[in-house]
């Protein structure tokens, strides 16, 4: 990796506070908005994004019409298409304007030039290795702790990652996803199952359009252990990652991890033709309650019924969630 990619703390200090990694990351986004035309244009466009709010009783789904996300929502992620394109996360192929901050000698913190959040980071591994969370979950916990103003998220290679060939996390401004605001009432009033195990609390939620498993603990090793238990219970084939999206944030000394086990990469609406087609690529952000629609026509017709159908198709079934609850009942 060329040193030209790394930005100095001195340069960052022109764009904000730089006392810790969190402040440095926010300053980086500011620097890129000023010095990288693509980022400047796309962050400015974010304030123009139209939004619709859909009320489902104890939760909401918001639809955002965000044309800048077309590249990601409609991304072709089959092996042939991936092999034909240059990797946009390898350090040596980044545009000259793009700058990064190193993390733990293994990652580069970058500004996402196609934002959903007012501050939106992409955090690729320095090596071009496939997207698979199994061996890197502990890094997600470290990142979420240090990036205290962000929620860190992970999209599986068949669950919304537009670079399934290059391991990466993303992070967005904390508190922006609806599930973060709904989390306490969800687990306290709507959990289908709750387990208090040694040093860790585990919740399963069914009544939320998406079915989720949440793991809460101040103890890093306890979370890692519970996550690996969950991961291996979802594992069907040894070499293929279970379909999932994961969110992680850290507040008041406690990690909150939400796992969305998935049934499908995309809903059937994506594969319709003509006016019935909806361009959508459900990933962690969508599972978190913000439905990104790059096309105006899709934003126009989206309603409660379509939202319900799409989430139902991509989340795991109620039977599968029950199966996982039974497995977790055995967890020690």
- Chain positions contacting Zn ion, by CB under 5 A: 87, 89-90, 128, 166
CB nearer Zn ion, residue 89 or residue 278: 89
CB nearer Zn ion, residue 89 or residue 147: 89
CB nearer Zn ion, residue 61 or residue 89: 89
- Determine contact, residues 169/143, Cβ cutoff 8 Å: yes
CB of 88 to Zn ion, least distance (A): 8
CB nearer Zn ion, residue 1 or residue 44: 1
* 100-111 core/surface letters (b: 16 or more CB in 10 A; e: else): bbebeeebbbbb
Q: Is 209 exposed, middle or buried (0-12, 13-18, 19+ CB in 10 A)?
A: middle
CB of 113 to Zn ion, least distance (A): 16
CB of 127 to Zn ion, least distance (A): 8
CB of 84 to Zn ion, least distance (A): 14
CB nearer Zn ion, residue 123 or residue 259: 123
DSSP state of 42: H
For Zn ion, which residue has the nearest CB? Answer: 87
CB nearer Zn ion, residue 27 or residue 108: 108
- 3-state DSSP assignment of residue 235: coil
Task: Give, in order, the Cα–Cα distances in Å from 105 to each of 150, 186, 209, 241, 271.
Answer: 20, 37, 39, 25, 41
CB of 126 to Zn ion, least distance (A): 10
Two structure tokens written together for 229: 């238990």
CB of 122 to Zn ion, least distance (A): 12
- Determine contact, residues 131/164, Cβ cutoff 8 Å: yes
Contacts of 3 (CB under 8 A, 6+ apart): none
Q: What is the DSSP string of 259-272?
A: EEEBS-SS-GGGG-
């Amino acid at each position: 990796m060329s040193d030209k990619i790394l930005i100095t703390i001195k340069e960052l200090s022109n764009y904000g506070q730089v006392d810790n990694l969190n402040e440095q990351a926010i300053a980086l986004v500011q620097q890129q908005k000023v010095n990288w035309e693509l980022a400047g244009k796309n962050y400015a466009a974010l304030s123009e994004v139209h939004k619709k709010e859909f009320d489902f009783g104890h939760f909401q789904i918001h639809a955002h019409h965000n044309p800048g996300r077309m590249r990601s929502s409609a991304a072709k992620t089959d092996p042939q298409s991936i092999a034909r394109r240059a990797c946009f996360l390898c350090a040596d192929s980044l545009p000259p304007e793009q700058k990064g901050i190193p993390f733990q000698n293994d990652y580069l913190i970058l500004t996402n030039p196609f934002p959903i959040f007012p501050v939106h980071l992409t955090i690729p591994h320095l090596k071009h290795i496939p997207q698979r969370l199994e061996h890197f979950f502990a890094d997600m916990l470290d990142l979420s702790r240090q990036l205290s103003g962000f929620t860190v998220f992970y999209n599986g290679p068949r669950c919304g990652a537009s670079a399934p060939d290059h391991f990466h996390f993303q992070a967005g401004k904390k508190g922006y996803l609806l599930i973060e605001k709904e989390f306490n009432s969800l687990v306290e009033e709507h959990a289908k199952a709750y387990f208090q195990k040694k040093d860790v609390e585990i919740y399963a939620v069914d009544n939320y359009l998406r079915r989720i498993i949440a793991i809460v603990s101040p103890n890093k090793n306890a979370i890692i252990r519970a996550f690996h238990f969950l991961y291996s219970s979802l594992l069907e084939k040894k070499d293929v990652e279970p379909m999932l999206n994961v969110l992680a944030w850290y507040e008041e000394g406690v990690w909150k991890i939400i796992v969305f086990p998935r049934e499908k990469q995309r809903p059937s609406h994506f594969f319709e033709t003509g006016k019935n087609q909806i361009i959508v690529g459900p990933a962690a952000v969508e599972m978190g309650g913000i439905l990104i629609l790059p096309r105006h026509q899709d934003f126009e017709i989206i309603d409660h019924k379509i939202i319900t159908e799409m989430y139902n198709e991509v989340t795991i079934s109620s039977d599968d969630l029950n199966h996982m609850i039974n497995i977790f009942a055995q967890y020690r």
